[in-house]
Structure 1
Amino acid sequence: MSIPVAQEIENLLRAAFAPTQLDVINDSAKHHGHSGDDGSGESHFTVMIESAAFAGVSRLQRQRMVNAALGDIPGHRVHAMAIRASAPGE
Structure 2
Amino acid sequence: MTDTATAPLAEIMAARLTAALDPTHLEVVNDSHHHAGHMGDDGTGESHFTVVIESAAFAGLNRVARQRLVNHALADLLATRIHALAIRASAPGGQ
- TM-score normalised by structure 1 residue count: 0.96
Distance 1:2 1:71 in 2: 19
Aligned: 1:55 with 2:59: yes
Q: Which residue of 2 aligns with 1:72?
A: 76
Higher relative helix content: 2
Matches within 5 A, 1:4-83: 4-83=8-87
Distance 2:37 2:73 in 1: 29
Unaligned runs of 5+ in 2: none
In structure 2, what residue type is equivalent to 1:50? E
Aligned residues: 90
Per the TM alignment, residue 50 of structure 1 is displaced from its structure 2 partner at its CA by 0.1
- TM-score normalised by structure 2 residue count: 0.91
Match of 1:86 among 67, 72, 90: 90
**RMSD value over aligned CA atoms?**
0.9
Distance 1:48 1:19 in 2: 10
In structure 1, what residue type is equivalent to 2:26? L
Per the TM alignment, residue 75 of structure 1 is displaced from its structure 2 partner at its CA by 4.0
Per-residue deviation, residues 45-75 of structure 1 (Å, max 9, x unmatched): 0000000000000100111110001121124
Deviation >4 Å, runs of 4+: none
Per-residue deviation, residues 2-24 of structure 1 (Å, max 9, x unmatched): 21110000000000111000000
